Amino acid sequence: DADVTQTPRNRITKTGKRIMLECSQTKGHDRMYWYRQDPGLGLRLIYYSFDVKDINKGEISDGYSVSRQAQAKFSLSLESAIPNQTALYFCATSEPLATSYNEQFFGPGTRLTVL
Amino acid sequence: AQSVTQLDSQVPVFEEAPVELRCNYSSSVSVYLFWYVQYPNQGLQLLLKYLSGSTLVKGINGFEAEFNKSQTSFHLRKPSVHISDTAEYFCAVFSGSARQLTFGSGTQLTVLP
């Protein structure tokens, strides 16, 4: 079984709709991240969480919100989707920095298309 | 602030030829460097990492990278590529002053028969 899972894997939606992307992990890591990938831009950090009560904005948080329901679950929401949020979204996890130097483990991704 | 530059967005190479994917970083403090690989329709997988010690780092699938502090580079190399190495490769940097990993824009390696 995969250590980091994302649901759904693919989603097509319309402008203005609310969308939630979910991430679950069985690695026991405290730290979780949401990235979006766009061609030619690499991965950009949207939000990250160091534990259930520690949530931080990343480089491109506008238009997104997150919820850390438990150590193992981290959800990303688009309150009102717009076409330029069409992208591949990745969830990742890591151990504390002192032991991992931020080596991250990625889920398989969610391809989101906003029409 | 830290940043990563991958100088080549696309690298085509014939099977069994050597390849080098270039990565340069900027950071004012000590860094930790990573190469990730993304096969088609998959997530990112760690290829290798430099944390400290020997500047030549060996990873999975025959890849290696050399950390060059004076040139602020961490180029990825493989002496003989296979069709199965076709993928996108991302360089990433983490420094002690930052709380996050910074990724380069990626290099698409295409191995031709």
Angle at B3 between CA B2 and CA B4, to 5 degrees: 140
Tokens of residue A83, six digits: 């076409």
pLDDT at A99 > cutoff 80: no
Verify whether the Cβ–Cβ distance B42 to A4 is below 8 Å. Answer: no
Q: Which candidate from A42, A45, A108 shows the least CB-CB separation from B100?
A: A45
Alpha helices (H) in chain A, listed in sequence order: 97-100
What percentage of residues in chain B have a pLDDT greater than 90?
Answer: 73
- Give B46's contacts in chain A (Cβ within 8 Å): 103, 105
Structure confidence by residue, pLDDT tens digits, B62-77:
999 999 989 999 999 9
Looking at residue B29, what is its pLDDT? Answer: 74
- Give A101's contacts in chain B (Cβ within 8 Å): 32, 49, 51, 94
- Give A33's contacts in chain B (Cβ within 8 Å): 100
CB distance A105 to A92 below 8 Å: yes
Over range A40-69, report the average pLDDT: 93
